[in-house]
């Protein structure tokens, strides 16, 4: 439920309403504007409490939220969320490009690719240290050594980094090295992991599951938000359908659908969706035209020798051409490319 307090309520009123909400077994989430304060009463929806809550001194009205996701809903947070990570801006009004290799292979390669993508306009460097793979015999990443490499390159190039975490027991370790924590598609419904990153207070990049409906995707975001982490970024990366012309099917319609019901920023990963580098530019431009707040693109200096997902990685030169197109489209849509530190 959303509890709207009377205009310019004093702090004592706000505290009293929050205390009453806790007494009812719900969790209060307070959002204070210039003139009004809104309190979300988060928990199982109980319509019979509406009249009771409206009788609390200082309460103007109570609005039930019938969607299963509360904190991710525009009902609770009408304005688009915007996050800053250093100079990097994520959210409404900006187009943010994250780019880099699928997996960290060595420091020399990551440094070369990092310099190239930052020069082209990427404001976040991606690189996986832990890689969930379909085959147990495929390259699984460098682990802790990969985390050390990505942090060294990040400091040298002065660019924030995003990397994936797969295990709740490794969250604290990954948080030490990453500026943004990625939850991969295979872990979208790993609820223990979602709660753990929710307590980590680092921005979380939540990819959509391989066959997840949009509602379940938003419910996964709700796990993170309800644990106290307000900085969640959603990423559409393609879902499984009957089509086999691409690796997955990129659901462009998911972008405006999410924008309608949620305040959270929405990104697209065209590399994983396509599985082919030649399709990445078209999918990228379509996603931004549909309203995406950013893209995550795989770039490698020698894709044919990449240890992970080489066929979908772009060459640095073609990536630079693509970012030029992204910048022009962003301007047409009245947006800015996120600053590069």
CA distance 4 to 311: 52
Q: What is the pLDDT of residues 56-97, one digit of tens each?
A: 888 888 888 778 898 999 988 889 999 999 999 999 899 999
What is the arrangement of strands in the sheet containing 27-32, beginning at the earlier edge strand? 27-32, 37-42, 2-5, 59-63
List phi, psi (to 5°) of 73.
-85, 150
- Whole-number pLDDT of residue 139: 54
Specify the residue for token string 């682990």. 143
Cα Dmax for the chain: 67
Question: 271, 281, 270: which is closest to 309 by C-alpha?
Answer: 271
> For the chain, give me the number of helices (H) and strands (E)?
11, 15
Alpha helices in the chain (DSSP H): 11-23, 50-54, 107-120, 144-157, 171-177, 191-198, 214-226, 254-261, 270-274, 280-289, 316-332
Asked whether the predicted pLDDT for residue 270 surpasses 90, the reply is yes
Average pLDDT over residues 193-203: 95
pLDDT > 70: percent of the chain = 96
Collapsed DSSP state (helix, strand, coil) of residue 321 = helix
CB 4 within 8 A of CB 44: no
* pLDDT higher than threshold 90 for residue 289: yes
Domains and CATH numbers, the chain: 2-63 (3.30.70.1140), 82-337 (3.20.20.70)
């Amino acid at each position: 439920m959303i509890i709207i307090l009377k205009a310019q309520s004093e702090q004592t009123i706000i505290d009293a309403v929050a205390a009453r909400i806790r007494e009812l077994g719900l969790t209060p989430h307070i959002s204070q504007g210039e003139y009004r304060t809104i309190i979300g009463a988060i928990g199982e929806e109980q319509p019979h409490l509406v009249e009771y809550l409206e009788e609390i001194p200082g309460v103007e009205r109570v609005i039930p939220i019938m969607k299963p996701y509360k904190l991710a809903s525009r009902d609770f947070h009408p304005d688009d969320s915007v996050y800053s990570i250093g100079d990097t801006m994520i959210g409404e009004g900006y187009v943010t490009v994250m780019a880099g290799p699928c997996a960290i292979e060595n420091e020399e390669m990551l440094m070369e690719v990092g310099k190239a993508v930052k020069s082209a306009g990427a404001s976040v460097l991606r690189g996986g240290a832990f890689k969930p793979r379909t085959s147990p015999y495929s390259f699984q990443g460098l682990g802790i050594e990969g985390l050390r490499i990505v942090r060294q390159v990040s400091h040298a190039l002065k660019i924030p980094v995003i990397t994936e975490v797969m295990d709740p027991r490794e969250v604290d370790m990954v948080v030490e090295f990453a500026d943004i924590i990625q939850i991969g598609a295979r872990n979208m419904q790993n609820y223990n992991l979602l709660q753990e990153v929710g307590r980590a207070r680092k921005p979380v990049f939540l990819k959509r599951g391989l066959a997840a409906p949009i509602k379940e995707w938003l419910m996964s975001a709700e796990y993170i938000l309800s644990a106290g982490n307000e900085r969640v970024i959603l990423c559409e990366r393609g879902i499984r359908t009957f089509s086999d012309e691409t690796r997955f099917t990129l659901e462009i319609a998911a972008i405006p659908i999410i924008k309608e019901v949620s305040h959270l920023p929405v990104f697209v990963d065209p590399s994983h969706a396509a599985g082919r580098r030649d399709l990445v530019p078209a999918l990228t431009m379509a996603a931004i035209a549909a309203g995406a707040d950013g893209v995550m693109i795989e770039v490698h200096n020698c894709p044919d020798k990449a240890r992970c997902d080489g066929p979908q990685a772009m060459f640095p030169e073609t990536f630079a051409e693509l970012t030029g197109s992204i910048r022009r489209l962003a301007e047409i849509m009245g947006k800015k490319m996120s600053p590069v530190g």
